[in-house]
């Protein structure tokens, strides 16, 4: 077999695994949206079967032989072929270390755990979730041990979401951010509090749905290739070219919850819709990393969605969509409300300054859970203690405390740090975008509702490359510099120093 034949067979097998995984994704989406609760056990068996099948194909020894036959054959290390081989080798070497039994058991137990989490959150009853979380945690420890690590089991799990990142690196990053953010938050707290009551009025769900979908379509989410549904915890699920699903949750008495959730998930969705379809099923047609993925959602949610030009365009439409609710409100009042800096309990509703403290909290708890320093039974108390230390608040219920996020129920240990990485990447991409186009030109374009220059820049610099470059390299190519927290801190300091929010 020639090198080109071996590469073609490698791509064929990669696409076959991706198809099986897309079937699992459809079942996972259905579980969170329309599946009857009583179907959880069966769904767990279905997902376990598909996970086992995909794992069997992903660890076939023939794949190792094909990789060995093509490695080093690409003359350009930045070519699509070289990137596919590099990333498929990384995935193969990781997968072969994990027993098929563990893969199947994780799929089955996390399906049951997600159902238990949903019930526990709705009833504010941690005991409902605890036994399943203990089982998930035990399986993730087993996975970390199988994959292997040098310093901390967290390294093995973090690598699944952000290849190349380390626990030590994340620790250092968070320590530096906390040192900078705490005084910023304190200074913001000393300022006159903006009125936030205009966000807590009657916002009928049907009108929220229409307005949020209109905004998502305006910024570039393609509803011919996607849709929005309702769930307990917002997410984006992409099954492949032409099919990307967003979800959100609605609160008829609070505007932010659904609207900014939709902008966030639309950012994810537009990234998936911007991947090149001809590379689907290979690393070149797959998102770069979760940190880069989160940069897209956080960018549209915050840097665009909370900016003055955005609401210069959308606020008159918002008032029309909710007659009577905002009649006396000015654009400036609304901007101040949606950008208010104030410690709060729910991560997905947090302001940009305090948000990363929510991630720091979860990161520290994950480390303790994985190392065995924290028992699952003690999680609610540990959460509340750390929350009070960071925010000066104590959650009144576990539903607004340790039960608020879905991630641990699906085994997402190692996921949370990517949100902070996403914030940093988003700010750096934002600076580069304004440098390339001119800040005033971007503001003008957004103000008139023309988001094509922004989306076009992201398509060219981020989306179309897939996993051709690792995250750090992609950032350097897009912005001209390695990832740094400085653009994010500059963005926050400028925003918080203004009497009115700016773009």
- Residues marked as catalytic: 265
Contact by Cβ (8 Å): 407, 415: yes
Contact by Cβ (8 Å): 97, 30: no
CB count in 10 Å sphere of residue 318 = 20
Rounded CA-CA distance 370/413 in Å is: 9
Q: Cα angle vertex 394, ends 406, 123, to 5°?
A: 45
For residue 450, give the H/E element and its range. none
Bridge partners (DSSP) of residue 248 are 230
Rounded CA-CA distance 367/369 in Å is: 6
Give me the half-sphere count of Cα atoms (radius 13 Å) on the Cβ side of residue 39: 12
Rounded CA-CA distance 243/156 in Å is: 31
Tell me the CA end-to-end span of the chain in Å, nearest whole number: 56
Biggest CA-to-CA distance, the chain: 74
What does DSSP say about strands 236-240 and 243-248: parallel, antiparallel, or unpaired? antiparallel
Judging by beta carbons within 10 Å of its beta carbon (0-12, 13-18, 19+), is residue 324 exposed, middle or buried?
exposed
CB count in 10 Å sphere of residue 441 = 12
Nearest to 95 by CA among 16, 7, 11, 17: 17
Contact by Cβ (8 Å): 84, 112: no
Torsion sign (Cα): 160, 164, 166, 169: negative
DSSP 301: I
Residue 136 tokens read as: 């998930």
DSSP 228: E
φ and ψ of 303, to 5 deg: -65, -35
Residue 474 tokens read as: 């992609």
Q: How many helices (H) and strands (E) does the chain have?
A: 20, 3
Residue recorded with tokens 């641990």? 408
């Amino acid at each position: 077999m020639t090198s080109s034949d071996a590469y073609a067979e490698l791509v064929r097998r990669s696409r076959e695994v991706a198809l099986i995984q897309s079937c699992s994704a459809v079942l996972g989406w259905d579980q969170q949206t329309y599946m009857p609760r009583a179907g959880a056990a069966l769904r767990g068996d279905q997902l376990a079967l598909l996970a086992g099948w995909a794992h069997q194909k992903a660890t076939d020894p023939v794949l190792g032989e094909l990789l060995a036959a093509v490695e080093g054959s690409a003359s350009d290390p930045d070519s699509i072929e070289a990137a596919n081989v590099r990333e498929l080798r990384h995935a193969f070497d990781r997968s072969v270390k994990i027993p098929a039994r563990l893969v199947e058991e994780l799929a089955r137990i996390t399906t049951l755990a997600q159902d238990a989490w949903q019930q526990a959150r709705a009833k504010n009853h941690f005991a409902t979730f605890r036994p399943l979380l203990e089982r998930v945690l035990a399986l993730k420890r087993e996975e970390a041990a199988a994959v292997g690590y040098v310093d901390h089991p967290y390294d093995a799990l973090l690598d699944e979401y952000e290849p190349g990142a380390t626990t030590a690196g994340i620790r250092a990053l968070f320590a530096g951010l906390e040192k900078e953010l705490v005084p910023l938050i304190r200074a913001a707290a000393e300022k006159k509090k903006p009125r936030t009551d205009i966000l807590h009025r009657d916002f009928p769900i049907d009108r929220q749905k229409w307005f949020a979908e209109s905004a998502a379509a305006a910024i570039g989410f393609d509803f011919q290739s996607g849709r929005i549904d309702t769930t307990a915890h917002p997410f984006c699920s992409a099954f492949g070219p032409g099919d990307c699903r967003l979800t959100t949750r609605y609160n008829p008495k609070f505007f932010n919850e659904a609207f900014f959730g939709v902008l966030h998930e639309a950012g994810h969705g537009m990234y998936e819709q911007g991947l090149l379809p001809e590379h689907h099923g290979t690393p070149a047609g797959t998102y770069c990393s979760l940190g880069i993925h989160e940069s897209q959602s956080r960018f549209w949610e915050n840097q665009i969605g909370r900016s003055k030009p955005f609401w210069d365009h959308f606020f008159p439409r918002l008032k029309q969509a909710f007659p009577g609710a905002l009649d006396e409100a000015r654009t400036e009042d609304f901007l101040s409300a949606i950008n208010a800096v104030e410690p709060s309990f729910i991560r997905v509703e947090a302001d940009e300054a305090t948000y990363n403290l929510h991630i720091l909290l979860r990161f520290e708890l994950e480390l303790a859970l994985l190392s065995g320093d924290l028992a699952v039974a003690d999680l609610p108390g540990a959460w509340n203690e750390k929350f009070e230390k960071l925010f000066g608040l104590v959650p009144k219920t576990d539903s607004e405390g340790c039960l608020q996020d879905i991630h641990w129920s699906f085994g997402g240990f190692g996921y949370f740090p990517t949100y902070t990485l996403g914030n940093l990447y988003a700010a750096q991409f934002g600076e580069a975008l304004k440098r390339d186009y001119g800040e005033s030109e971007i503001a003008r374009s957004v103000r008139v509702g023309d988001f094509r220059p922004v989306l076009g820049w992201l398509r060219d610099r981020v989306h179309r490359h897939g996993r051709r470059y690792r995250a750090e390299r992609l950032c350097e190519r897009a912005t001209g510099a390695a990832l740094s927290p400085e653009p994010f801190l500059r963005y926050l300091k400028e925003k918080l120093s203004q009497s009115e929010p700016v773009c």
